C-alpha cells in the first residue's frame, strides 16, 4: 500500500462490508518505447536501490466514519481474548490469522482513561474499534515487524503516535520484505497529529504489487522536528493475500481515502 490517509474504523465497519475501502490513483507512465519504466524512473535501476521491479502504492484514510472494507481484507483487532492489558503479544494470532509480531508489542487498554494509570498512553482517545489496542516500544528505535505465514500483497493498520502535539507532522513507514529478507517495496504516509477526535483518525498502508510481502516493518517518525519516536499504538491490522491489483482498481473511488502512485503520501491534513 503506498497510500496514506487517516481514518476512524470500527471492526463492525471492517466486517460488515460491501466494497473496498481505499481510494487509489491509477499508475500511468509515459516513457520511450525502449525504456524500462517503473516508479523509480527509467532503466534497470536508476536510483541504485538494487530493487527496480518493486511497484508500491501508499494509501491512507483520515477521519472517515463510514468506511467499509472490502471482504477480501482479513482484519484483526486486539480485543481480548486472547490477552490482557500489558501482556506481551507475539504468536497469539498465528493460528487464526497467520500473523506474528516482533518483541516489544503489548496489549493496551484505551477506554477514555476510565482506568487512570492503565491507559494514559492513549491521551483520552479511544482506538478505532473496541477498547484495546497494541502498544509498541523499542528504545533502540527498531521498527515493529509483522510477519505473515502466507505472504500478502496489501497491508494497512490504524496508527497513533503517543505524545504528539496538535498539528505536529508524523510519518508512518511500511517496509515490506520477501521471505529471504530482500525488499518488496516501501510505503510511507505523512499525517498531522490531532487530539480533536473521539477515536484515532489515521489508517495507513501499502499495496505491494510486484512482490508479495512475507513481513512488514512498521515505523513512526517525526516528519519535521527533531526527536525520536520510541513508542506508538496500532489497531485493526488488515491485509490481502492475493488479487491486490483488482482490489486497488475497484476501491480507487471510495470516499475518505487518498492513494499515491509513488509509495509516498502526504495527507491533506499535513499539507
pLDDT tens digits, one per residue of 48-85: 544 445 789 999 887 654 445 567 889 999 999 999 98
User: In this predicted model, what pLDDT tens digit does every residue of 246-264 receive, in sequence order?
Assistant: 888 877 777 667 889 889 9
CA distance 229 to 199: 21
CB 122 within 8 A of CB 163: no
Residue 37 in this model has a pLDDT that exceeds 90: no
- By three-state DSSP, how is residue 234 classified? strand
Better-scored residue on pLDDT, 51 or 17: 51
pLDDT at site 68: 53
The pTM is what? 0.78
Of 35-49, 155-169, 238-252, which range is least confident? 35-49
Out of 7-16, 205-214, 242-251, least confident range: 7-16
> pLDDT confidence of 115, banded at 50, 70, 90?
low
Share of the chain above pLDDT 70, in %: 71
Give the lowest-confidence range in 38-47, 117-126, 194-203, 219-228: 38-47
Please give the CATH topology (third level) of the domain spanning 3-270.
Answer: Jelly Rolls (2.60.120)
For the cut 50, the answer to whether the pLDDT of residue 33 exceeds it is no
SS3 132: strand
Q: Spell out the domain ranges in the chain.
A: 3-270
* DSSP-derived 3-state class of residue 195: coil
Read off the pLDDT of each residue in 205-221 and give the average, rounded to a whole number: 96
251 Cβ neighbours under 8 A, 6+ residues apart: 19, 20, 21, 22, 23, 24, 70, 257
Nearest by Cα to 75 from 205, 245, 231, 220: 205
Question: Which grid coordinates are listed for 66?
Answer: 463510514
pLDDT of res. 14: 38
For 57, the grid coordinates are: 502504492
* 121 DSSP assignment: G
Percent of the chain scored above 90 by pLDDT?
46
Mean local confidence (pLDDT), 126-152: 93
Task: Report the distance separating Cα 197 and Cα 195, nearest Å.
Answer: 6
Task: Tell me how long the chain is.
Answer: 271
Given this model, what pLDDT does residue 64 score?
Answer: 53
**Which pLDDT score is estimated for 126?**
77
Digit-coded pLDDT (tens) for 160-209? 888 788 899 999 999 999 999 999 999 999 999 887 777 777 889 999 99
Name the band, by pLDDT with cuts 50, 70 and 90, for residue 25.
very low
C-alpha cell, 47: 536510483
Asked if 183 and 54 touch (Cβ cutoff 8 Å), the reply is: yes
Amino acid at each position: 500500500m503506498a497510500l496514506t490517509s487517516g481514518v476512524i474504523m470500527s471492526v463492525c465497519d471492517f466486517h460488515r462490508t460491501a466494497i473496498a475501502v481505499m481510494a487509489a490513483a491509477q499508475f500511468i507512465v509515459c516513457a520511450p518505447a525502449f525504456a524500462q519504466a517503473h516508479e523509480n524512473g527509467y532503466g534497470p535501476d536508476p536510483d541504485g536501490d538494487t530493487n527496480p521491479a518493486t511497484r508500491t502504492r501508499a494509501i491512507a484514510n483520515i477521519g472517515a466514519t463510514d468506511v467499509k472494507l472490502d471482504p477480501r481484507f482479513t482484519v484483526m483487532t486486539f480485543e481480548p481474548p486472547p490477552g490482557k492489558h500489558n501482556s506481551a503479544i507475539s504468536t497469539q494470532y498465528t493460528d487464526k490469522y497467520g500473523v506474528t509480531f516482533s518483541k516489544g508489542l503489548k496489549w493496551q487498554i484505551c477506554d477514555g482513561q476510565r482506568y487512570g494509570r492503565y491507559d494514559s498512553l492513549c491521551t483520552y482517545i479511544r482506538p478505532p474499534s473496541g477498547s484495546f489496542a497494541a502498544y509498541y516500544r523499542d528504545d533502540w528505535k527498531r521498527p515493529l515487524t509483522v510477519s505473515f505465514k502466507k505472504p500478502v500483497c496489501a497491508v494497512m493498520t490504524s496508527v497513533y503516535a503517543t505524545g504528539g502535539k496538535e498539528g505536529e507532522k508524523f510519518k508512518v513507514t511500511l517496509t515490506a520484505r520477501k521471505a529471504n529478507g530482500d525488499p518488496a517495496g516501501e510505503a510511507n504516509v505523512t499525517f498531522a497529529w490531532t487530539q480533536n477526535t473521539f477515536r484515532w483518525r489515521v489508517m495507513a498502508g501499502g499495496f505491494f504489487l510486484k512482490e508479495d510481502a512475507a513481513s512488514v516493518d512498521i515505523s513512526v517518525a517525526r516528519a519535521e522536528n527533531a526527536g525520536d519516536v520510541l513508542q506508538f499504538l496500532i489497531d485493526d491490522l488488515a491485509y490481502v493475500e492475493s488479487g491486490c491489483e483488482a482490489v486497488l482498481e475497484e476501491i480507487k473511488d471510495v470516499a475518505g481515502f487518498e492513494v499515491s502512485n509513488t509509495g509516498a503520501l502526504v495527507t491533506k491534513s499535513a499539507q
